[in-house]
Structure 1
Protein backbone atom coordinates (compact mmCIF):
# COMPACT_ATOMS: atom_id res chain seq x y z
CA UNK A 1 0.00 0.00 0.00
CA UNK A 2 2.85 2.38 0.84
CA UNK A 3 4.65 1.57 -2.40
CA UNK A 4 1.55 2.30 -4.45
CA UNK A 5 1.28 5.67 -2.69
CA UNK A 6 4.72 6.82 -3.91
CA UNK A 7 4.70 9.39 -6.68
CA UNK A 8 5.95 8.13 -10.04
CA UNK A 9 9.42 9.69 -9.83
CA UNK A 10 9.98 8.26 -6.34
CA UNK A 11 8.65 4.86 -7.43
CA UNK A 12 11.07 4.79 -10.38
CA UNK A 13 14.03 5.06 -7.97
CA UNK A 14 13.17 2.23 -5.58
CA UNK A 15 11.79 -1.26 -6.01
CA UNK A 16 8.99 -2.58 -3.83
CA UNK A 17 11.23 -5.24 -2.28
CA UNK A 18 13.81 -2.56 -1.37
CA UNK A 19 11.14 -0.51 0.38
CA UNK A 20 9.95 -3.60 2.23
CA UNK A 21 13.46 -4.29 3.55
CA UNK A 22 13.78 -0.73 4.82
CA UNK A 23 10.43 -0.86 6.61
CA UNK A 24 11.19 -4.26 8.18
CA UNK A 25 14.47 -2.91 9.61
CA UNK A 26 12.68 -0.02 11.27
CA UNK A 27 12.12 -0.69 14.98
CA UNK A 28 9.97 2.29 15.97
CA UNK A 29 6.31 1.53 16.67
CA UNK A 30 4.11 3.94 18.59
CA UNK A 31 4.66 7.48 17.28
CA UNK A 32 3.54 11.03 17.89
CA UNK A 33 3.58 13.98 15.49
CA UNK A 34 6.65 16.08 16.33
CA UNK A 35 6.54 18.82 13.70
CA UNK A 36 5.33 19.64 10.23
CA UNK A 37 6.40 21.99 7.47
CA UNK A 38 3.95 23.10 4.80
CA UNK A 39 5.53 24.87 1.83
CA UNK A 40 4.16 25.42 -1.66
CA UNK A 41 2.73 22.12 -2.96
CA UNK A 42 3.92 19.77 -0.21
CA UNK A 43 3.71 19.03 3.51
CA UNK A 44 6.51 17.33 5.43
CA UNK A 45 5.38 15.49 8.59
CA UNK A 46 7.89 14.39 11.22
CA UNK A 47 6.93 11.67 13.70
CA UNK A 48 9.02 10.48 16.64
CA UNK A 49 8.61 7.25 18.55
CA UNK A 50 7.43 7.67 22.12
CA UNK A 51 10.83 6.57 23.42
CA UNK A 52 12.40 9.29 21.21
CA UNK A 53 14.80 6.80 19.62
CA UNK A 54 13.25 6.47 16.16
CA UNK A 55 11.78 8.86 13.62
CA UNK A 56 9.80 9.02 10.42
CA UNK A 57 9.70 11.93 7.97
CA UNK A 58 7.18 11.78 5.15
CA UNK A 59 6.63 14.41 2.47
CA UNK A 60 3.27 14.40 0.72
CA UNK A 61 2.06 16.30 -2.33
CA UNK A 62 -0.94 18.32 -1.18
CA UNK A 63 -3.18 17.87 -4.21
CA UNK A 64 -2.33 14.31 -5.30
CA UNK A 65 -1.58 13.02 -1.73
CA UNK A 66 1.27 10.99 -3.27
CA UNK A 67 4.42 10.42 -1.20
CA UNK A 68 7.34 12.54 -2.45
CA UNK A 69 9.84 11.52 0.22
CA UNK A 70 10.09 8.98 3.03
CA UNK A 71 12.73 8.62 5.73
CA UNK A 72 12.76 6.03 8.53
CA UNK A 73 15.75 5.84 10.84
CA UNK A 74 17.13 5.63 14.39
CA UNK A 75 17.84 9.09 15.77
CA UNK A 76 21.29 8.26 17.22
CA UNK A 77 21.61 11.46 19.23
CA UNK A 78 25.12 12.39 20.30
CA UNK A 79 25.88 12.53 24.01
CA UNK A 80 28.51 15.24 23.51
CA UNK A 81 28.03 18.18 21.19
CA UNK A 82 30.58 20.57 19.74
CA UNK A 83 29.25 24.01 20.74
CA UNK A 84 30.37 27.46 19.58
CA UNK A 85 32.48 29.55 21.94
CA UNK A 86 30.34 32.64 21.29
CA UNK A 87 26.66 33.52 20.92
CA UNK A 88 25.23 34.42 17.51
CA UNK A 89 22.16 35.87 15.82
CA UNK A 90 20.73 34.46 12.62
CA UNK A 91 22.22 36.49 9.70
CA UNK A 92 18.86 38.13 8.88
CA UNK A 93 17.09 41.42 9.58
CA UNK A 94 13.49 40.16 9.45
CA UNK A 95 11.55 36.94 10.05
CA UNK A 96 12.63 33.85 8.09
CA UNK A 97 11.66 30.18 8.40
CA UNK A 98 13.94 27.24 9.17
CA UNK A 99 13.54 24.58 6.46
CA UNK A 100 16.46 22.43 7.64
CA UNK A 101 17.78 22.60 11.18
CA UNK A 102 18.25 20.37 14.20
CA UNK A 103 20.58 17.73 15.60
CA UNK A 104 19.42 14.63 13.71
CA UNK A 105 18.93 13.57 10.11
CA UNK A 106 15.17 13.50 10.61
CA UNK A 107 15.10 17.32 10.93
CA UNK A 108 18.32 18.34 9.21
CA UNK A 109 19.75 16.66 6.10
CA UNK A 110 23.14 18.29 6.81
CA UNK A 111 23.56 16.28 10.01
CA UNK A 112 25.42 13.30 8.49
CA UNK A 113 28.11 15.58 7.01
CA UNK A 114 30.66 16.53 9.73
CA UNK A 115 31.55 19.84 8.05
CA UNK A 116 27.87 20.90 7.93
CA UNK A 117 26.33 18.92 10.79
CA UNK A 118 24.67 21.84 12.60
CA UNK A 119 23.98 24.05 9.57
CA UNK A 120 20.69 25.87 8.96
CA UNK A 121 18.81 26.55 5.74
CA UNK A 122 16.46 29.53 5.90
CA UNK A 123 13.89 31.00 3.53
CA UNK A 124 10.90 33.35 3.62
CA UNK A 125 7.32 32.13 3.29
CA UNK A 126 3.94 33.81 3.33
CA UNK A 127 0.82 31.73 3.89
CA UNK A 128 2.85 28.53 3.29
CA UNK A 129 4.19 29.76 -0.05
CA UNK A 130 7.77 30.81 -0.82
CA UNK A 131 6.93 32.61 -4.07
CA UNK A 132 4.37 34.58 -6.03
CA UNK A 133 3.16 33.89 -9.58
CA UNK A 134 4.46 30.57 -10.95
CA UNK A 135 7.88 30.57 -9.27
CA UNK A 136 9.84 30.17 -12.50
CA UNK A 137 12.11 33.18 -11.94
CA UNK A 138 14.11 34.17 -8.86
CA UNK A 139 12.27 37.47 -8.58
CA UNK A 140 9.09 35.53 -7.75
CA UNK A 141 10.60 34.34 -4.45
CA UNK A 142 10.17 36.30 -1.21
CA UNK A 143 13.74 35.58 -0.08
CA UNK A 144 15.42 36.80 -3.27
CA UNK A 145 17.34 40.06 -2.81
CA UNK A 146 16.55 40.20 0.90
CA UNK A 147 19.25 41.71 3.13
CA UNK A 148 21.76 39.34 4.77
CA UNK A 149 23.69 40.63 7.78
CA UNK A 150 26.65 39.61 9.95
CA UNK A 151 25.62 37.13 12.68
CA UNK A 152 28.31 38.44 15.04
CA UNK A 153 31.24 40.83 15.06
CA UNK A 154 34.34 39.59 13.29
CA UNK A 155 36.71 39.96 10.37
CA UNK A 156 35.90 38.91 6.80
CA UNK A 157 38.37 36.24 5.69
CA UNK A 158 36.93 35.02 2.38
CA UNK A 159 34.31 36.07 -0.17
CA UNK A 160 33.02 34.72 -3.46
CA UNK A 161 30.77 37.06 -5.43
CA UNK A 162 30.94 35.97 -9.09
CA UNK A 163 28.72 32.86 -9.32
CA UNK A 164 25.57 33.34 -11.41
CA UNK A 165 22.20 32.66 -9.80
CA UNK A 166 20.43 29.46 -10.82
CA UNK A 167 17.08 29.26 -12.50
CA UNK A 168 14.63 27.92 -9.85
CA UNK A 169 14.58 24.15 -9.91
CA UNK A 170 18.16 23.91 -11.21
CA UNK A 171 21.34 23.55 -9.11
CA UNK A 172 25.02 24.30 -9.65
CA UNK A 173 26.79 21.08 -8.58
CA UNK A 174 30.25 22.41 -9.43
CA UNK A 175 30.19 25.41 -7.07
CA UNK A 176 28.23 24.06 -4.10
CA UNK A 177 28.33 27.11 -1.83
CA UNK A 178 27.74 29.54 -4.68
CA UNK A 179 28.49 33.08 -3.54
CA UNK A 180 29.49 33.15 0.11
CA UNK A 181 31.01 35.11 3.00
CA UNK A 182 33.24 33.61 5.70
CA UNK A 183 33.83 35.59 8.91
CA UNK A 184 36.44 34.94 11.61
CA UNK A 185 34.97 35.45 15.08
CA UNK A 186 37.72 33.92 17.20
CA UNK A 187 40.27 31.15 17.42
CA UNK A 188 38.88 28.18 15.47
CA UNK A 189 35.48 29.83 15.02
CA UNK A 190 34.26 30.95 11.60
CA UNK A 191 30.77 31.55 10.26
CA UNK A 192 29.77 30.72 6.70
CA UNK A 193 26.78 32.24 4.92
CA UNK A 194 26.18 30.83 1.42
CA UNK A 195 23.99 31.24 -1.69
CA UNK A 196 24.24 35.04 -1.98
CA UNK A 197 22.90 36.81 -5.05
CA UNK A 198 25.42 37.28 -7.88
CA UNK A 199 27.57 40.40 -7.32
CA UNK A 200 25.54 41.49 -4.26
CA UNK A 201 28.20 41.04 -1.56
CA UNK A 202 29.39 44.38 -0.16
CA UNK A 203 32.26 43.28 2.11
CA UNK A 204 35.87 42.32 1.31
CA UNK A 205 38.53 40.17 3.02
CA UNK A 206 40.23 41.96 5.90
CA UNK A 207 37.23 44.15 6.64
CA UNK A 208 35.88 44.25 10.20
CA UNK A 209 32.13 43.92 10.68
CA UNK A 210 29.78 44.21 13.61
CA UNK A 211 26.73 42.11 14.31
CA UNK A 212 23.93 43.34 12.02
CA UNK A 213 26.19 44.96 9.40
CA UNK A 214 24.94 44.35 5.87
CA UNK A 215 26.88 41.66 3.98
CA UNK A 216 24.84 41.37 0.77
CA UNK A 217 21.60 39.96 -0.61
CA UNK A 218 20.05 36.51 -0.63
CA UNK A 219 20.36 34.76 -3.96
CA UNK A 220 20.05 31.36 -5.56
CA UNK A 221 23.66 30.47 -6.35
CA UNK A 222 25.42 27.13 -5.89
CA UNK A 223 23.69 23.95 -4.68
CA UNK A 224 20.36 25.74 -4.35
CA UNK A 225 17.05 25.06 -6.10
CA UNK A 226 15.35 28.24 -4.88
CA UNK A 227 16.46 31.46 -3.13
CA UNK A 228 17.51 30.75 0.46
CA UNK A 229 20.55 31.03 2.71
CA UNK A 230 22.77 28.42 4.34
CA UNK A 231 24.27 29.40 7.70
CA UNK A 232 26.77 27.52 9.85
CA UNK A 233 29.69 28.01 12.23
CA UNK A 234 32.82 25.85 11.87
CA UNK A 235 36.32 25.42 13.26
CA UNK A 236 38.23 26.28 10.06
CA UNK A 237 37.79 28.85 7.27
CA UNK A 238 37.58 26.07 4.68
CA UNK A 239 35.03 23.33 4.01
CA UNK A 240 37.77 20.69 4.05
CA UNK A 241 38.13 17.20 5.50
CA UNK A 242 39.37 18.77 8.75
CA UNK A 243 36.37 21.10 9.02
CA UNK A 244 33.87 20.42 11.82
CA UNK A 245 30.55 22.18 12.15
CA UNK A 246 29.75 23.62 15.60
CA UNK A 247 26.35 23.66 17.27
CA UNK A 248 25.42 27.33 17.41
CA UNK A 249 24.62 29.02 20.69
CA UNK A 250 22.23 31.85 19.89
CA UNK A 251 21.87 35.22 21.59
CA UNK A 252 18.09 35.21 21.24
CA UNK A 253 17.03 31.65 20.36
CA UNK A 254 17.09 28.19 21.89
CA UNK A 255 17.72 25.27 19.53
CA UNK A 256 15.65 26.37 16.50
CA UNK A 257 14.59 23.44 14.32
CA UNK A 258 12.79 22.75 11.07
CA UNK A 259 9.51 24.65 10.81
CA UNK A 260 10.45 27.37 13.31
CA UNK A 261 10.04 31.03 12.40
CA UNK A 262 13.09 32.96 13.61
CA UNK A 263 13.30 36.75 14.11
CA UNK A 264 15.69 39.18 12.50
CA UNK A 265 18.29 41.21 14.36
CA UNK A 266 16.37 44.45 13.80
CA UNK A 267 13.83 43.16 16.34
CA UNK A 268 16.42 43.17 19.13
Structure 2
Protein backbone atom coordinates (compact mmCIF):
# COMPACT_ATOMS: atom_id res chain seq x y z
CA UNK A 1 0.00 0.00 0.00
CA UNK A 2 2.80 2.43 0.87
CA UNK A 3 4.46 2.18 -2.60
CA UNK A 4 1.12 3.05 -4.21
CA UNK A 5 0.64 6.09 -1.99
CA UNK A 6 4.22 7.18 -2.63
CA UNK A 7 3.89 6.78 -6.39
CA UNK A 8 0.66 8.77 -6.52
CA UNK A 9 2.08 11.60 -4.41
CA UNK A 10 5.53 11.67 -6.01
CA UNK A 11 5.71 15.38 -6.85
CA UNK A 12 4.68 16.61 -3.38
CA UNK A 13 7.20 14.16 -1.89
CA UNK A 14 9.96 15.44 -4.19
CA UNK A 15 9.20 19.10 -3.46
CA UNK A 16 8.96 18.53 0.30
CA UNK A 17 12.19 16.56 0.15
CA UNK A 18 13.98 19.44 -1.57
CA UNK A 19 12.69 21.92 0.99
CA UNK A 20 13.77 19.75 3.91
CA UNK A 21 17.14 19.10 2.29
CA UNK A 22 18.08 22.74 2.77
CA UNK A 23 17.19 22.49 6.46
CA UNK A 24 20.81 22.12 7.44
CA UNK A 25 21.63 25.47 5.88
CA UNK A 26 18.53 27.30 7.14
CA UNK A 27 17.95 25.74 10.56
CA UNK A 28 21.30 24.01 11.13
CA UNK A 29 19.45 20.73 11.55
CA UNK A 30 21.47 17.97 9.92
CA UNK A 31 18.83 15.30 10.53
CA UNK A 32 16.27 17.41 8.67
CA UNK A 33 18.55 17.60 5.67
CA UNK A 34 19.08 13.84 5.68
CA UNK A 35 15.32 13.26 5.89
CA UNK A 36 14.83 15.61 2.96
CA UNK A 37 17.35 13.78 0.82
CA UNK A 38 15.68 10.46 1.63
CA UNK A 39 12.27 11.83 0.67
CA UNK A 40 13.61 13.31 -2.56
CA UNK A 41 15.22 10.03 -3.62
CA UNK A 42 12.10 8.07 -2.64
CA UNK A 43 9.92 10.42 -4.66
CA UNK A 44 12.17 10.07 -7.70
CA UNK A 45 12.27 6.27 -7.37
CA UNK A 46 8.46 6.18 -7.20
CA UNK A 47 8.41 7.11 -10.90
CA UNK A 48 8.96 3.43 -11.63
CA UNK A 49 6.36 2.07 -9.19
CA UNK A 50 2.90 0.99 -10.37
CA UNK A 51 0.21 3.32 -9.06
CA UNK A 52 -2.34 0.61 -8.37
CA UNK A 53 -3.76 -2.46 -10.05
CA UNK A 54 -6.18 -1.75 -12.89
CA UNK A 55 -8.77 -4.50 -13.02
CA UNK A 56 -10.86 -3.74 -16.08
CA UNK A 57 -11.01 -4.67 -19.72
CA UNK A 58 -9.55 -2.30 -22.34
CA UNK A 59 -11.90 0.63 -22.95
CA UNK A 60 -12.88 1.10 -26.62
CA UNK A 61 -12.64 4.68 -27.93
CA UNK A 62 -12.46 6.24 -31.38
CA UNK A 63 -9.13 7.36 -32.77
CA UNK A 64 -8.32 10.98 -31.85
CA UNK A 65 -6.40 11.49 -35.10
CA UNK A 66 -6.96 10.95 -38.80
CA UNK A 67 -4.63 9.44 -41.39
CA UNK A 68 -1.52 7.31 -40.86
CA UNK A 69 0.17 7.57 -37.45
CA UNK A 70 3.06 5.57 -36.05
CA UNK A 71 2.90 4.28 -32.49
CA UNK A 72 6.32 5.17 -31.15
CA UNK A 73 5.66 4.14 -27.54
CA UNK A 74 2.71 1.79 -27.21
CA UNK A 75 1.23 -0.63 -24.65
CA UNK A 76 0.93 -3.07 -27.54
CA UNK A 77 4.73 -3.40 -27.39
CA UNK A 78 5.41 -3.11 -23.65
CA UNK A 79 3.77 -2.13 -20.36
CA UNK A 80 4.42 0.40 -18.99
CA UNK A 81 4.66 1.83 -22.49
CA UNK A 82 6.94 4.73 -21.49
CA UNK A 83 8.96 2.75 -18.98
CA UNK A 84 7.28 4.49 -16.02
CA UNK A 85 3.90 4.54 -14.31
CA UNK A 86 4.08 8.21 -13.29
CA UNK A 87 1.33 10.61 -14.40
CA UNK A 88 -0.96 7.71 -15.37
CA UNK A 89 1.27 6.77 -18.32
CA UNK A 90 1.14 2.98 -17.88
CA UNK A 91 -0.86 2.42 -21.08
CA UNK A 92 -0.13 5.72 -22.86
CA UNK A 93 0.64 5.87 -26.56
CA UNK A 94 2.77 8.35 -28.53
CA UNK A 95 1.48 8.91 -32.06
CA UNK A 96 3.66 10.43 -34.79
CA UNK A 97 1.98 11.45 -38.05
CA UNK A 98 3.93 9.81 -40.89
CA UNK A 99 1.86 9.70 -44.11
CA UNK A 100 4.69 8.48 -46.38
CA UNK A 101 4.74 4.69 -46.27
CA UNK A 102 7.87 4.55 -48.43
CA UNK A 103 10.06 6.60 -46.12
CA UNK A 104 11.29 5.25 -42.81
CA UNK A 105 10.70 7.33 -39.71
CA UNK A 106 13.78 7.62 -37.49
CA UNK A 107 13.55 8.42 -33.79
CA UNK A 108 17.01 9.97 -33.80
CA UNK A 109 18.64 11.86 -36.67
CA UNK A 110 22.23 12.96 -37.20
CA UNK A 111 21.29 16.43 -38.37
CA UNK A 112 20.05 19.07 -38.08
CA UNK A 113 20.70 19.59 -34.40
CA UNK A 114 17.21 21.03 -33.88
CA UNK A 115 14.38 21.81 -36.30
CA UNK A 116 11.36 24.07 -36.24
CA UNK A 117 8.17 22.14 -35.42
CA UNK A 118 6.55 23.36 -38.65
CA UNK A 119 8.94 21.13 -40.63
CA UNK A 120 7.28 17.95 -39.27
CA UNK A 121 4.19 16.51 -41.03
CA UNK A 122 2.25 16.06 -37.80
CA UNK A 123 2.53 19.63 -36.56
CA UNK A 124 -0.89 21.29 -36.74
CA UNK A 125 -2.76 18.05 -37.45
CA UNK A 126 -6.27 18.10 -35.89
CA UNK A 127 -6.93 16.17 -32.68
CA UNK A 128 -10.51 15.04 -32.00
CA UNK A 129 -12.43 13.85 -28.96
CA UNK A 130 -12.51 10.02 -29.07
CA UNK A 131 -15.78 9.95 -27.12
CA UNK A 132 -18.30 12.33 -25.61
CA UNK A 133 -17.17 13.95 -22.39
CA UNK A 134 -16.75 17.05 -20.27
CA UNK A 135 -13.59 19.14 -20.27
CA UNK A 136 -12.01 19.16 -16.82
CA UNK A 137 -8.74 20.82 -17.81
CA UNK A 138 -7.43 22.80 -20.77
CA UNK A 139 -3.96 24.40 -20.94
CA UNK A 140 -2.85 26.43 -23.95
CA UNK A 141 0.08 28.72 -23.02
CA UNK A 142 3.22 26.60 -23.41
CA UNK A 143 5.36 27.41 -26.46
CA UNK A 144 6.10 24.90 -29.24
CA UNK A 145 9.84 24.45 -28.97
CA UNK A 146 12.42 23.21 -31.47
CA UNK A 147 12.81 19.46 -31.94
CA UNK A 148 15.09 17.42 -29.68
CA UNK A 149 15.51 14.38 -31.93
CA UNK A 150 19.25 14.54 -32.70
CA UNK A 151 21.86 12.78 -30.55
CA UNK A 152 23.20 15.98 -28.91
CA UNK A 153 19.68 17.31 -28.39
CA UNK A 154 18.61 14.10 -26.64
CA UNK A 155 21.16 14.79 -23.91
CA UNK A 156 19.62 18.23 -23.52
CA UNK A 157 16.07 16.86 -23.38
CA UNK A 158 16.99 14.56 -20.47
CA UNK A 159 18.19 17.54 -18.45
CA UNK A 160 15.22 19.62 -19.60
CA UNK A 161 12.86 16.81 -18.63
CA UNK A 162 14.13 16.80 -15.07
CA UNK A 163 13.56 20.56 -14.78
CA UNK A 164 10.06 20.13 -16.18
CA UNK A 165 9.37 17.46 -13.56
CA UNK A 166 9.85 20.09 -10.87
CA UNK A 167 7.02 22.17 -12.39
CA UNK A 168 4.59 19.26 -12.10
CA UNK A 169 2.41 17.56 -14.73
CA UNK A 170 1.70 20.74 -16.70
CA UNK A 171 5.36 21.28 -17.54
CA UNK A 172 5.66 17.69 -18.75
CA UNK A 173 2.38 17.54 -20.70
CA UNK A 174 2.70 21.03 -22.17
CA UNK A 175 -0.52 22.27 -23.73
CA UNK A 176 -3.09 19.62 -22.90
CA UNK A 177 -6.74 18.74 -22.55
CA UNK A 178 -8.32 16.29 -20.11
CA UNK A 179 -11.82 14.97 -20.74
CA UNK A 180 -14.11 13.24 -18.27
CA UNK A 181 -15.61 10.36 -20.28
CA UNK A 182 -17.73 9.11 -17.39
CA UNK A 183 -17.57 5.91 -15.34
CA UNK A 184 -14.31 7.03 -13.73
CA UNK A 185 -12.47 7.33 -17.06
CA UNK A 186 -10.48 10.39 -18.10
CA UNK A 187 -8.74 10.97 -21.44
CA UNK A 188 -5.60 13.11 -21.66
CA UNK A 189 -4.16 14.70 -24.83
CA UNK A 190 -0.68 16.17 -24.41
CA UNK A 191 1.89 18.28 -26.33
CA UNK A 192 -0.79 20.21 -28.22
CA UNK A 193 0.05 23.23 -30.35
CA UNK A 194 -0.07 26.57 -28.58
CA UNK A 195 -3.16 28.56 -29.50
CA UNK A 196 -4.93 25.54 -30.98
CA UNK A 197 -7.03 24.33 -28.03
CA UNK A 198 -10.70 24.73 -28.98
CA UNK A 199 -12.40 23.72 -25.72
CA UNK A 200 -12.67 25.18 -22.25
CA UNK A 201 -13.09 23.78 -18.73
CA UNK A 202 -16.67 22.72 -18.01
CA UNK A 203 -17.62 22.46 -21.69
CA UNK A 204 -19.46 19.37 -22.90
CA UNK A 205 -18.06 17.95 -26.14
CA UNK A 206 -19.34 15.24 -28.45
CA UNK A 207 -17.30 12.44 -30.00
CA UNK A 208 -15.33 13.70 -32.98
CA UNK A 209 -15.27 17.32 -31.78
CA UNK A 210 -12.05 19.18 -32.65
CA UNK A 211 -10.23 19.86 -29.40
CA UNK A 212 -6.88 21.08 -30.66
CA UNK A 213 -3.89 20.40 -32.90
CA UNK A 214 -0.80 18.25 -32.64
CA UNK A 215 2.11 20.32 -31.36
CA UNK A 216 5.51 20.16 -29.71
CA UNK A 217 4.97 21.65 -26.26
CA UNK A 218 6.10 20.19 -22.96
CA UNK A 219 8.49 17.26 -22.64
CA UNK A 220 8.48 16.35 -26.34
CA UNK A 221 11.33 15.49 -28.72
CA UNK A 222 9.29 16.17 -31.89
CA UNK A 223 5.66 16.98 -32.76
CA UNK A 224 3.41 14.11 -31.73
CA UNK A 225 0.25 13.33 -29.79
CA UNK A 226 0.54 11.72 -26.39
CA UNK A 227 -2.77 10.02 -25.53
CA UNK A 228 -3.78 8.10 -22.44
CA UNK A 229 -6.76 7.04 -20.34
CA UNK A 230 -6.58 7.27 -16.55
CA UNK A 231 -8.72 6.86 -13.44
CA UNK A 232 -8.33 10.39 -12.08
CA UNK A 233 -8.42 13.87 -13.66
CA UNK A 234 -5.14 14.75 -11.92
CA UNK A 235 -2.22 13.01 -13.69
CA UNK A 236 0.02 13.35 -10.62
CA UNK A 237 -2.14 10.83 -8.71
CA UNK A 238 -3.75 8.90 -11.57
CA UNK A 239 -3.36 5.29 -12.59
CA UNK A 240 -3.35 4.44 -16.27
CA UNK A 241 -6.23 2.54 -17.89
CA UNK A 242 -5.98 0.19 -20.90
CA UNK A 243 -7.81 1.12 -24.10
CA UNK A 244 -8.28 0.22 -27.76
CA UNK A 245 -8.88 2.42 -30.81
CA UNK A 246 -11.69 1.78 -33.25
CA UNK A 247 -10.15 1.46 -36.70
CA UNK A 248 -11.79 1.25 -40.12
CA UNK A 249 -10.08 -1.01 -42.64
CA UNK A 250 -9.98 -0.23 -46.40
CA UNK A 251 -12.88 -2.64 -46.99
CA UNK A 252 -15.06 -0.79 -44.51
CA UNK A 253 -14.69 -3.30 -41.69
CA UNK A 254 -14.11 -1.84 -38.25
CA UNK A 255 -12.22 -3.41 -35.39
CA UNK A 256 -10.54 -2.37 -32.16
CA UNK A 257 -6.85 -2.57 -31.40
CA UNK A 258 -3.88 -0.67 -30.04
CA UNK A 259 -1.32 0.32 -32.70
CA UNK A 260 2.19 -1.05 -32.31
CA UNK A 261 5.60 -0.16 -33.71
CA UNK A 262 5.06 -2.63 -36.55
CA UNK A 263 1.40 -1.75 -37.24
CA UNK A 264 0.59 1.97 -37.70
CA UNK A 265 -2.74 3.44 -36.78
CA UNK A 266 -4.84 3.97 -39.93
CA UNK A 267 -7.89 6.13 -39.45
CA UNK A 268 -10.30 7.47 -42.09
CA UNK A 269 -9.64 11.06 -43.20
CA UNK A 270 -13.14 12.12 -42.12
Q: Which TM-score applies when normalising by structure 2?
A: 0.62
Q: How does 1:139-150 map to 2 (within 5 A)?
A: 139-150=118-129
Shift in Å, 1:105: 4.2
2-structure distance, mates of 1:248, 1:263: 16
1:163 is the counterpart of 2:142:
yes
**Structure number with higher helix proportion:** 2
* Partner Cα separation in structure 1 for residue 58 and residue 81 of structure 2: 22
2:74 — aligned with what? 101
* Aligned residues of 1:90 and 1:265 also touching (Cα < 8 A): no
Superposed counterparts of 1:213-228, under 5 Å? 213-228=209-224
Alignment of 1:65-214 (within 5 A): 82-83=55-56, 86-102=59-75, 105=78, 108-110=81-83, 112-113=85-86, 115-125=88-98, 126=100, 127-129=103-105, 134=112, 136-169=115-148, 170=157, 173=164, 174=167, 175-214=171-210
1:200 Cα deviation after fit = 0.8
Following superposition, the deviation at residue 240 of structure 1 comes to 2.2
Structure 1 residue 115: deviation in Å?
A: 1.7
Contact 1:184–1:237, Cα closer than 8 Å, also in 2 = yes
CA distance 1:176–1:107, change in 2 (3 Å): closer
Structure with more relative contact order (C-alpha pairs < 8 Å, separation 6 or more): 2
CA–CA separation in structure 2 for the residues paired with 1:112 and 1:208: 29
* Matches of 1:205 and 1:99, distance apart in 2: 30
**What CA distance in whole angstroms lies between the structure 2 residues aligned with 1:207 and 1:130?**
38
Q: How much has 1:265 moved relative to structure 2?
A: 5.1
Hey, what's the Cα distance between the residues in 2 that align with 1:106 and 1:88? Answer: 19
Q: Distance in 1 between matches of 2:135 and 2:85?
A: 28
TM-score normalised by length of structure 1: 0.62
Contact preservation (8 Å) 1:130, 1:142? no
Equivalent residue number for residue 266 of structure 2 = 263
SS at match of 2:235: coil
Distance in 2 (CA, whole Å) between partners of 1:122 and 1:110 is 16
Please name the residue that 1:4 is paired with: none
- Gap regions ≥5 residues in structure 2: 1-52, 149-156, 248-255
Question: How far does the alpha carbon of each residue in 1:146-168 deviate from its partner, in whole angstroms, 9 at most, with x for none?
Answer: 11111111111110000011111
